[in-house]
Structure 1
Amino acid sequence: MNWILIQREELRINESVTLTDERHNHIRTILKKKPDEEVQVVIQNEGNYMFRVLQITETESILIKKDSLSRTLNPLPIHCFFSLPRPQTAKKIFHLAGAYGINSLSFFATETKNKEYWTSPVYTKDWNQWVHTGMSQTGNVHFPMIQFGQKQNWKKYLETWDGNIIVMDRMGELDLKTYKEPLDHLQNTLFVFGPESGWNEDDMKFFNELPYKTMTLGNINLRTEFAFSSLLYFLFRN
């Protein structure tokens, strides 16, 4: 945790905040901060700041806003779709989305997926916690929009997407390594990640009937979180 993440509603009128949860424990035991020392803070969907420690005890830390800081990174203006991954994989996806600040994540159960995954706490209540871990790591301020399509048809969702769609596939026509599209042209682009076993024949027929591009990360099969991480890394680097 390189940054302390707080919500605007936690601040008092004088721009101070009292923390009693794991953030306080991190400040006290990991960062080992003392009164009058400074802490880097992210206010979600607002900005990066330096806060000063007013008081710290065994049970609470009291911080007050001191200075505004330049944005630590510019969020990646993309959208990503996932064929319902295992809960442990989803944790990593949420974390990465928070770290890079992408626009949105959507999760749908394609025909080959285990729909019991929907009952996992990762999808029902804990997902925002995992996004926050990513934001706390990088200082990204943008919290992505999250959509869970439990009762929606994933193909209908893609058909009605208002923008470009790029399907991630090992045999894709585009190669991410040589992809040079400017980031500001990707704001309405949806990157679609399928099952780790790959798209089936019916899926590929569906994609071929619509004006979707396909993109490869290389001629190997990657676990979903590694494929997602590779996409984010290359886009961020460029």
Structure 2
Amino acid sequence: MNWIVIEASEISSEQSVHITGIRHHHIVSILKKKASESVLVVVPGIGNFRYQVEGISNQETILKAEENLPRVLEPLPIHCLFSLPRPQTAKKILHLAGAYGITSLHFFATESKNKEYWTSPVYSKDWKELVLTGLSQTGNSQMPSVHLGQRENWKQFLSSWKGPVQIMDREGKNGFPNSNQRDFGLKETLFVFGPESGWKESDHLFFKEHNLNQTSLGNINLRTEFAFSSLLYLLFKS
């Protein structure tokens, strides 16, 4: 946790905030901050700040806004869809989405996926906290939106997408030349990650019928979280 995440609703009209729980423990025990010292703060949807420690007790840390900081990270303006991953995999995806500041995440159960994954707390009450762990790592202030398509058809969703769609598939074309990736209209691009077992033949027919590009990250099989991480790295470094 390099940055302390503070929700805008926690900040008083005097620009101070009372921090308790895990964040308080981190400031005191990990960062070892004392009164009058500063901590780095990210406020989701607003920006980056430096806050001063006004007081510390056994139960809480009181912080007050000291100065605005320039945005430390340029978010990746992309959208990503995942064939319902295992909860442990979803945790890593949500963290990475927050760390890189992508625009949106979409989870759907394709025909071959275990729909019981929907019952996991990751997809009901924990997803926001998992995204916030990414913000606390990098200082990104953009909160990705998360769409849980539990009762929706993923192929209908793809058909209605208004921008470019890139289907991630080991057998696809190499869609990542060395040129600047931001030049080919990332803003509305939806990157689609399928099941780790691979797309079914009916899926490939659907992609062909709808002229959807199939893009490869390389000629190896990757676990979903590694494929997502590879995509983020390739786009971010350019």
Counterpart amino acid of residue 131 in structure 2: V
Partner of 1:59: 59
Counterpart amino acid of residue 217 in structure 1: L
What's the TM-score once normalised by structure 2's chain length? 0.98
- Cα distance in 1 for partners of 2:227, 2:19 equals 36
Report whether the alignment pairs 1:78 with 2:78: yes
- Cα distance in 1 for partners of 2:212, 2:41 equals 40
Q: How does 1:8-23 map to 2 (within 5 A)?
A: 8-23=8-23
Q: For each residue in 1:80-101, what CA deviation from the matched residue of structure 2 results, as whole angstroms up to 9, or x when unmatched?
A: 0000000000000000000000
Counterpart amino acid of residue 137 in structure 2: Q
Partner of 2:196: 196
Cα deviation, residue 122, structure 1:
0.5
Contact 2:174 2:218 in 1 (8 A): no
Tell me the number of residue pairs that the alignment of Structure 1 and Structure 2 aligns: 238
Q: How does 1:1-238 map to 2 (within 5 A)?
A: 1-176=1-176, 178=178, 180-182=180-182, 185-238=185-238
- Cα distance in 2 for partners of 1:78, 1:52 equals 34
Give unmatched runs, 5+ long, in structure 2: none
With over 3 angstroms needed to count, the CA separation of the structure-2 counterparts of 1:139 and 1:168, relative to structure 1, is same
Q: Matched residue of 2:9: which SS?
A: helix
Q: For each residue in 1:200-230, what CA deviation from the matched residue of structure 2 results, as whole angstroms up to 9, or x when unmatched?
A: 1110010011121111011011000000000
Moved beyond 2 Å, runs of 4+: 174-181
Counterpart amino acid of residue 105 in structure 1: L
- Cα distance in 1 for partners of 2:25, 2:183 equals 38
Counterpart amino acid of residue 39 in structure 1: V
Give unmatched runs, 5+ long, in structure 1: none
What's the TM-score once normalised by structure 1's chain length? 0.98
Contact 1:176 1:231 in 2 (8 A): no
Cα deviation, residue 177, structure 1:
5.2
Counterpart amino acid of residue 104 in structure 2: S
Identity of aligned residues (%): 57
- Cα distance in 1 for partners of 2:76, 2:184 equals 9
Cα deviation, residue 174, structure 1:
2.9
Contact 1:77 1:183 in 2 (8 A): no
- Alpha carbon RMSD of aligned pairs, Å? 1.1
- Cα distance in 1 for partners of 2:23, 2:150 equals 33
With over 3 angstroms needed to count, the CA separation of the structure-2 counterparts of 1:88 and 1:179, relative to structure 1, is farther
Cα deviation, residue 184, structure 1:
7.4
